[in-house]
Amino acid sequence: MAELENEKQLKIVVAGHSSSGKTSIVHRICNEEFSCLYYPTSGVDFFLKRCTVQGDKHVRIVVWDIGGNTLNSEFISKCIYAAQAILLVFDITNASSFISVQEWMNKIRPFFPEKTPVIGLLANKCDMEHQRAVTVERQTRFACEHSMLLHNVSARTGENIMLCFQHV
For 19-41, how does the pLDDT look when each residue is reduced to its tens digit (9 = 90+)?
A: 999 999 999 988 878 777 777 77
Average confidence score pLDDT of the chain? 88
**Is the pLDDT at 90 greater than 50, yes or no?**
yes
Predicted local distance difference test score (pLDDT) of residue 144: 97
Predicted local distance difference test score (pLDDT) of residue 141: 98
Q: What is the average per-residue pLDDT within 92-119?
A: 90
CATH hierarchy code of domain 2-167: 3.40.50.300
**Is the pLDDT at 51 greater than 90, yes or no?**
no
115: number of Cβ within 10 Å: 5
CA-to-CA dists, residue 80 to 2, 73, 74, 77, 84, angstroms: 30, 12, 11, 5, 9
**Is the pLDDT at 69 greater than 80, yes or no?**
no
Report residue 164's pLDDT band, with 50, 70 and 90 as the boundaries.
confident
Q: What is the average per-residue pLDDT within 63-77?
A: 81
Query: What is the pTM (predicted TM-score) of this model?
Result: 0.89
Pick from 3-7, 67-71, 123-127, 135-139: least confident: 3-7
According to DSSP, residue 81 is labeled: T
**Helices 95-108, 136-145: crossing angle, 10 deg rounding:** 0
- Name which of 152, 44, 144 is nearest 93 in CA terms: 152
The structural domains of the chain, with segments of one domain joined by +, span 2-167
Predicted local distance difference test score (pLDDT) of residue 5: 66
- Name which of 71, 75, 68 is nearest 124 in CA terms: 68
**Is the pLDDT at 114 greater than 80, yes or no?**
no
